Chains A and B, each alone.
Chain A
Amino acid sequence: MKSLLNWLDNRTGIRRLTREALFENIPGGARWRYVWGSTLTFAILVEFITGIMLWMFYSPSANSAWESVYHLQENVKGGDWLRGIHHWTAQFMIVLLVLHLVQVVVDGAYKAPREFNFWFGLALLGLTMGLGLTGYLLPWDQKGYWATEVATNIVGNTPLIGDYLKPLLIGGNEAGHHTLTRFFALHAGVLPALLIGLIVLHIYLFRKHGITPAAHKTAASTRHFWWVSCFTMGFAMTMVGINWRAFPEESRPMVGIVPGVITVLCLLRVLYLYVRKRGLEEEDDVRPRRGDAYFWPDQVLRDAIACAVVMGGVLFFVGQVGTELSAPADPSENYSAARPDWYFMALFALLKDFDLITGAFVIPGVVATVVFLMPFIGRKRVGHMFNLVFLVVVLGGFVHYTLAAFTHDWTSAGHQAAVAVAHREADRVRVLAKSPDGIPPEGAISLLRNDPLIQGPKLFAKNCASCHGYGGHDGMDQQRKNQQSASDLKGFAGREWSRKILNAESFAHPDFLGATKLIEGSKMLKFLKGDSFGALPSEEVHAIGVALSAEAQLKAQRAIDAADVDLIEEGRELLSIECTDCHVYHGEGEKGIDLTGYGNREWQISFIRNPSHKRFYGKRNERMSIFGPKYKEDGSLERPAQLSDQEIGFIVDWLRGEWYEPPQDEGTEGGSEGEELTEDDKPEEKLPPAG
C-alpha cells in the first residue's frame, strides 16, 4: 500500500496536493461561519452529478422536452428523486449564495487584497441565477414557458442591444425548438463551463490569500454583534409583519413565533452581556485568542455537517413538496398562473411598481454596481458600515418584494383560480398520458387540446355561460359575470333533467326555462298544468321521464338504463301517445322539438349548430346563437361557423360526461361483479368495471 502510494506520488505529487488541500491554515481555528463556501461547492457537485444523469433522459425539442421529463418523473423508478434533488439543490444554492455573500461582507472578507475574489463570487452568483433561469424553461411546461416569455421579453428591452440579444437568446423571433436547444446548451454546457472556471479561480485566490482572520473578540465587539443581530431580526420581523398574508394560514403562527423567539433570545443575550460586564470586561480584552488550526479535520467536519444539513433539507423538500411539472407549454392558452422561480419573484414584483426599464435594468443595475464597488467603498470603517447597511436594505427590499408578490398571489382570487386550472390541467395530462393510447408523436399538448374534459368547460364559459349556467357557475367553477338568463345545463338530458321537464314548477324555474321569454305563453307549461297531464298517474310520468332520458344514452346512465329496460319500453309507448301532438318522436308527430334521440351526441351537436332549425326551436328560438354556419334564405352562406364542429363536440361530450377515465383500481374488480349490483341513486359508482 505504501509503495503503491509512493509510486503514485512520484508521478503525480498527490501527497503534496492532499496536504495543500487539507492543511490550509485557519487563523483562530475552525468556525461554523466558514462553512458556506464548502456547502456551495458541495451543492455544485451535486448539481453536476444529477445534471449529467438527467441529461441522459432529456430531449430538447418543443414536442419532446415535456414528454421526456414526464417519462423520467413518472415512468422511471427514482426519476422523480433525481429531478427533485437537482431542482431543490438549485433552490438551496441561491439561499447559500446569499448567506455566503452576507458572511463575506460582514466579515469584511471583500476588502483588499481580496477584491478579485469578491468579484469572482459575484460573477458566480450571476451565473447561478442564469443557470436557474435557463433550467426553469427546460421542462417546457406552462410554468417555465410563460416565465421565460416574460424574462426573454425583458431581455428584448435591454437598452441599445435588446433587439439583437433576444433573437440570439431564443434562437429566432419566437420561442420554439431553438429556444430549447439554446437554453439547453447554455444550461448544460456554457454556463457550467464558466462556473467551473470561476470556481477554480475563486478557490485559487481564496487559498492564495487565506481565510480572513477573525477580528479580535472583545466584550464590546460581542455586544455589537448581538445588537446587530437584534436589529436584523427586528427588521426581518417587520418585513414579515408587513407581509404576513404571504404565508399559508396554517404556517402563520410558526412564522410569527420562530423569529420572535430568536429575537427574544438575542435580546436576552445582550442583557446577559451587560449584566456580567462588570466582572469580566477587563479580562475580555486580553482574553487569549483561539489557536490556529488546519482545515483538516475540524473545519472539514463542520463543513461536512453543514453539507449534510443541506442534503437533508433537499431530501426533505423532494419528499414532502416534490417537483412540479405543470401542463405542457401551450402558447395559445393564456396561462394566468405564470410566475418565475421564487428568487426572481422580487424582480417580477418590482415591475408592478416601476416601469420596465427602471424595474428591470436601472434598480438592479444600481444595486449590482454598488455591490461591485463594495471593496473600494469599504476601505474606511464608515464605508464598511455603509456596505453593511446597504446589504441589509437590499436584502430587506428583496424579502419585502418577494413576500409582497406571494401575498398578492395568495390573496388574489383570480390567481388562485388560475393556479387551480393549471393544476387541473397538469393532473389531467398525466391521466391522459397514462391511458392506453399514450402520448402521440405530436406531443402531449395534443392530449389536452383534444380532451372534452379540459376544452368543454373552457368553451362553455366563453360561449354559453353568458346565458346558461352549469351547476350554478360558469363551467370553470367561477362566479357568473351576469344574471343567468337560460337553463342550467348541468345534467342535461339526465333523469333528473327529464323529471324537471315534466313538472310545471321546475319547468318554470329560472334554472330551467323560467328566465327565458319562451316561458311566456309556453304550450308545454300549459300542457303540464292541464288536466289531461294531471290525470296521469305519477308512475307513468316517471316512466316517460326515464324513457326520454334514455334517448340520450348517457355514459353515466348506461347501467341503470340497462336495468330499466321494461320501464323504458313502457315510457316509450306513453311518450308516443302523450307527447306527439306537439313533438316528433320516432316517426310519430309532425311538429315541435324532435324528441327522437333527445340529448344524444348527434342531437346536441345539431342543436348547438342551429337551434333555429325546425327540428328544434324553429322560429320560436328566442336568442340562442346559431353556432354553426349561418345560411341565407337562398342557401348561400351568410357567415361562417362561430364554433367548429370539433369545438361543439367538446362542449357536447363534456356535457354528456364523455371523456377518458382511467380504469378503476383493479383490486375491487373481481369481487364487485356478482354482488349487489342493483339500482342506486348514484349510477356512476355502479358502472360495472368492464364497461
Chain B
Amino acid sequence: MAINDPDDDIADVPMSQALRGVRDGGAQEKLKEGGEDPGEPASPVDASPLRREFLSIALGGAIVAAPTVVGLRVVLSPLFSRKAGGIVARLTTLDSLEVGGPPQAFKVIADKTDAWTTYKDLPLGLVYAQRFAEKKVVVFSASCPHAGCAVEYRREGAHGAHYYCPCHESSFRTDGSLAPDNTQAKRGLDELEVDQEKLEKGEVWVRFQKFKAGITEKKAVS
C-alpha cells in the first residue's frame, strides 16, 4: 500500500485528524486499482470525533477485559486459597522406636485430595523420627530448609552422627540444629508437631507440613 512518509508530529487533536492527510492518497489509488468509482472525497471531520474515539477505546477495552478478568480470577485462584495446616498422619507405634536409638525414616502416609482426585493412603513425604526419652519423640521433616532436597541421616562424620543434604552439603546435628560444617542452610531442620496425647497412648502421630525454604525463620506454607 502506498503511504507517504509518516508525519512525526502528533498534534493534540483526534487521531483521525492528525493522521488524516497521510492516507488519502493511498485510499484513492487503491480504489482506482479496483476500477471503481472513488466517490466523493471524505467529508470534513465530524465535530465530535474525540467522543467517538473515546467510546471506541472504552468499549473495546471493556469487552476484552470481561473475559480476561474472569480468566485471571480463575488462573490466579491458587493465590486465593492459601492456608497452612498440614495433614495429620499416623507414623508408627511408640514401641517400634527405641529410647535413645538412632532416628528412623518414615513415609508419611495419609488420605489426600489433589485437585479433583481423592487418594487413599497416599505417600506424602519423608520424615525422621527419634525417641529421645520414654515419652519424647522428635520428628523432623526430611526436606532440607535450604532448598528442599531430601536430607540423609549419616552415622559418622567429622562431628559424629548428623543429617546431611546431598545437594548443597548442608549439615545438621541430630537435634536438628545447624552443624559446624553446615554450608548453606539458614535454619535447622524443621521439627514437626507430634501429638502428645496419642503418644501417651502409644502411637506416634505427626502434623506433616511444608515450610518455606531458604530463609531463617520457619514459616509454614502448607
Binding site for B on A (CB under 8 A): 2, 5-6, 9, 13, 15-16, 19-20, 22-25, 27-29, 42, 45-46, 49-50, 53, 56-57, 64, 67-68, 70-72, 75-79, 81-82, 85, 89, 113, 207-210, 213, 288-294, 296-298, 300-301, 304-305, 307-308, 311, 315, 433, 437-441
Report the Cα distance A296→B59, complex, angstroms: 14
| Residue in chain A with minimal CB distance to B37 | A213
Contact of B74 among A78, A207, A213 (CB under 8 A): A78
Contact of B39 among A64, A71, A289, A439 (CB under 8 A): A289
Q: Is there contact, CB below 8 Å, between A308 and B6?
A: no
A5 CB contacts on chain B under 8 angstroms: 10
B59 CB contacts on chain A under 8 angstroms: 301, 304-305, 307-308
B119 CB contacts on chain A under 8 angstroms: 441
Contact of A296 among B15, B40, B77, B115 (CB under 8 A): B15
Report the Cα distance A283→B40, complex, angstroms: 17
Q: Is there contact, CB below 8 Å, between A76 and B23?
A: no
Q: Is B56 an interface residue (CB 8 A)?
A: yes
Report the Cα distance A68→B72, complex, angstroms: 18
A-B contact pairs, 27 of them (CB 8 A): A16-B3, A19-B23, A20-B3, A22-B15, A23-B16, A23-B20, A23-B22, A28-B39, A49-B64, A53-B72, A68-B115, A71-B115, A76-B77, A77-B77, A81-B74, A82-B70, A82-B74, A85-B66, A209-B34, A213-B37, A289-B39, A290-B40, A297-B49, A297-B52, A311-B63, A439-B116, A440-B117
Interface majority SS (helix, strand, loop, mixed), chain B: helix
| Residue in chain A with minimal CB distance to B30 | A210
Q: Is B133 an interface residue (CB 8 A)?
A: no
B39 CB contacts on chain A under 8 angstroms: 27-28, 213, 289, 291-292
A71 CB contacts on chain B under 8 angstroms: 115-116
Q: Is there contact, CB below 8 Å, between A300 and B60?
A: yes
Interface centre among A5, A27, A50 (most CB of B within 10 A): A27
B19 CB contacts on chain A under 8 angstroms: 19, 22-23
Q: Is there contact, CB below 8 Å, between A297 and B66?
A: no
Q: Is B157 an interface residue (CB 8 A)?
A: no
Q: Is there contact, CB below 8 Å, between B63 and A304?
A: yes
| Residue in chain A with minimal CB distance to B120 | A440
Report the Cα distance A34→B112, complex, angstroms: 55
Q: Is B55 an interface residue (CB 8 A)?
A: yes
Q: Is B31 an interface residue (CB 8 A)?
A: yes
Q: Is there contact, CB below 8 Å, between B55 and A304?
A: yes
Q: Is there contact, CB below 8 Å, between A77 and B74?
A: yes
Contact of A53 among B31, B42, B49, B74 (CB under 8 A): B74
What interface size band does chain B fall in?
A: 35 or more
Report the Cα distance A11→B94, complex, angstroms: 72
Do A78 and B118 form a contact, CB below 8 Å, given A16-B6, A25-B27, A304-B59?
A: no
Report the Cα distance A520→B106, complex, angstroms: 70
Report the Cα distance A53→B74, complex, angstroms: 8
Q: Is there contact, CB below 8 Å, between A57 and B34?
A: no
Report the Cα distance A433→B113, complex, angstroms: 12
Do A288 and B6 form a contact, CB below 8 Å, given A79-B74, A85-B70, A304-B56?
A: no
B23 CB contacts on chain A under 8 angstroms: 19, 23, 25, 294
Q: Is there contact, CB below 8 Å, between B116 and A64?
A: yes
Q: Is there contact, CB below 8 Å, between A64 and B70?
A: no
Q: Is there contact, CB below 8 Å, between B38 and A27?
A: yes
Do A311 and B116 form a contact, CB below 8 Å, given A19-B3, A294-B16?
A: no
Contact of B56 among A20, A209, A297, A438 (CB under 8 A): A297
B158 to chain A, nearest CB (A): 46
Q: Is there contact, CB below 8 Å, between B52 and A301?
A: yes
Do A42 and B63 form a contact, CB below 8 Å, given A292-B42, A294-B42?
A: yes
B75 CB contacts on chain A under 8 angstroms: 53, 56
B residues 1-44 with Cβ under 8 Å of A? 1, 3, 6, 8, 10, 14-16, 19-20, 22-23, 26-27, 30-31, 34, 36-43
Q: Is there contact, CB below 8 Å, between B31 and A25?
A: yes
Q: Is there contact, CB below 8 Å, between B64 and A439?
A: no
Do A46 and B67 form a contact, CB below 8 Å, given A79-B74, A210-B30?
A: yes
Q: Is there contact, CB below 8 Å, between A50 and B71?
A: yes
Report the Cα distance A643→B115, complex, angstroms: 36
Report the Cα distance A2→B12, complex, angstroms: 11
Q: Is there contact, CB below 8 Å, between A20 and B8?
A: no
| Residue in chain B with minimal CB distance to A310 | B63
A16 CB contacts on chain B under 8 angstroms: 3, 6
Report the Cα distance A134→B36, complex, angstroms: 43
Report the Cα distance A300→B14, complex, angstroms: 14
